[in-house]
Amino acid sequence: MVDFSLTPEQEAIQRMAREFAEKEIVPAAAQYDRSGEYPREIVKKAFKAGLVYGPVPEKYGGGGIGALDQLLIAEELSAGCAGISSCIAINSLAAIPLINYGSEAQKEKYLGAACREEKLMALCVTEPGAGSDVAALTTTARRLNGEYVISGSKSFITNGGVADYYIVFATVDLSKGHRGITAFVVPREAEGVSVGKKEDKMGQRAANTTDVIFDEVVVPAADRIGEEGEGFRIIMQTFNHSRPGVAASAVGVARSAMEHALQYALEREQFGMPIFMHQAVMFMLADMARDIAAGRLLAWQAAWKAERGLDNSKEAAMAKVFCGDMVMRVTTDAAQIFGGYGYVKDYPAEKLMRDAKVFQIYEGTAQIQRLLIGRALAKEKLK
């Protein structure tokens, strides 16, 4: 049986996240968008509200919530501001490798500190020469006297400049391609770790996005996550868990754009009537509502499978690519409905449109998601 209703607990989570967004995020969003500063005080308040490490099991101090619960939070916070929302969401996303593959000691040490001492995390996969082609990464982890020495540069790292712990993917053997990739947890204070250039971004400007450099960083073997060579699988599984959340964030941004555009269309008059009454405008809004609902259902389906331990790789890619393209379309149409006012910063549409673009880029581009869906289709057919 399919059931689309939320439990009373889920409704409470949704309400709490919406109230947090309205009270803490919305009033500050424009200021952080302008300055590009990291919203430290808001993230602190999100810790207090239990919004940062929701999916971490309760025994380590997290919220112990499910994948669908996490989507409800992502949509609500992103409806407030996608940049500030990503400052909050990236922590639990970066924690996924530890949650799913970490040893008991690692979980106690790193997840425990993250939740109880409000430590921040970042996920370091991308490099200047390895974006979509993750298997081409060249950051190395050289074995030395029972430890590892990590060297290389990571780029576009969300939380790069503020994280206390980096989840780093490096290769123990370049000649092995993706089979050499291995995951590590590296504290920011480790000698040889430095933060590089901070990106000056088009949108989601509150999020802190930087290069992170690892220069001969010595990491004990106890801080390797999973086995040697297991890193590629860990990255892919992490994306299967994170992509529905990213899709839900896109839904939040699109919903906000639609709500603003609808309000404006009902108020703004041209040719003697609200512009909403011109069918060309009304139909844009109808398409927005339809596509937002479709995107939400795809995201929920992908999370539903993840919660049941089912392979959700195709559904996660479908949700991610649909919602990434959908939010770009919806925010572009919202700017159109605002006319000239859609192009200026005094009105909400232009920020929403700038914030939307990166949903087609990060966590695997729109093209890579289509590749994944296509491969899954062929695999199912040839099985």
Ligand X SMILES: Cc1cc2nc3c(=O)[nH]c(=O)nc-3n(C[C@H](O)[C@H](O)[C@H](O)COP(=O)(O)OP(=O)(O)OC[C@H]3O[C@@H](n4cnc5c(N)ncnc54)[C@H](O)[C@@H]3O)c2cc1C
**Residues with active-site annotation:** 363
Q: Cβ closer to ligand X: 7 or 367? A: 367
Do residues 58 and 299 touch, judged by C-beta distance below 8 A? no
Question: What CA–CA distances, in Å, run from 324 to 247, 318, 327, 360?
Answer: 7, 10, 6, 5
State the residue for tokens 């389906």.
301
Q: Cβ closer to ligand X: 237 or 301? A: 237
Q: Cβ closer to ligand X: 166 or 300? A: 166
User: What proportions of the chain, in percent to the nearest 5, are helix, strand and coil?
Assistant: 60, 15, 25
* Shortest separation between residue 293's beta carbon and ligand X, angstroms: 27
* Shortest separation between residue 5's beta carbon and ligand X, angstroms: 34
* Shortest separation between residue 11's beta carbon and ligand X, angstroms: 31
Q: Cβ closer to ligand X: 123 or 206? A: 123
Both tokens assigned to 70 = 């996490």
Q: How far apart are CA 283 and CA 43, in angstroms?
A: 38
| Binding residues vs ligand X (CB under 6 A) | 123-126, 131-132, 156-158, 201, 204, 209, 358, 361-362, 364-365, 367-368, 371
Q: How far apart are CA 277 and CA 285, in angstroms?
A: 11
Both tokens assigned to 256 = 């906000």
Distance of CA 265 to the CA centre of its chain: 31
Q: Which residues contact 365 (CB under 8 A, 6 or more apart)?
A: 132
Nearest Cα neighbor of 124 from 85, 143, 88, 150 is: 150
Q: Cβ closer to ligand X: 165 or 347? A: 165
* Shortest separation between residue 106's beta carbon and ligand X, angstroms: 20
Distance of CA 98 to the CA centre of its chain: 17
* Shortest separation between residue 331's beta carbon and ligand X, angstroms: 16
* Shortest separation between residue 201's beta carbon and ligand X, angstroms: 6
Q: How far apart are CA 43 and CA 85, in angstroms?
A: 9
Residues forming a β-bridge with 270? 273
- Residue nearest ligand X, CB atom distance: 131
Q: Cβ closer to ligand X: 204 or 249? A: 204
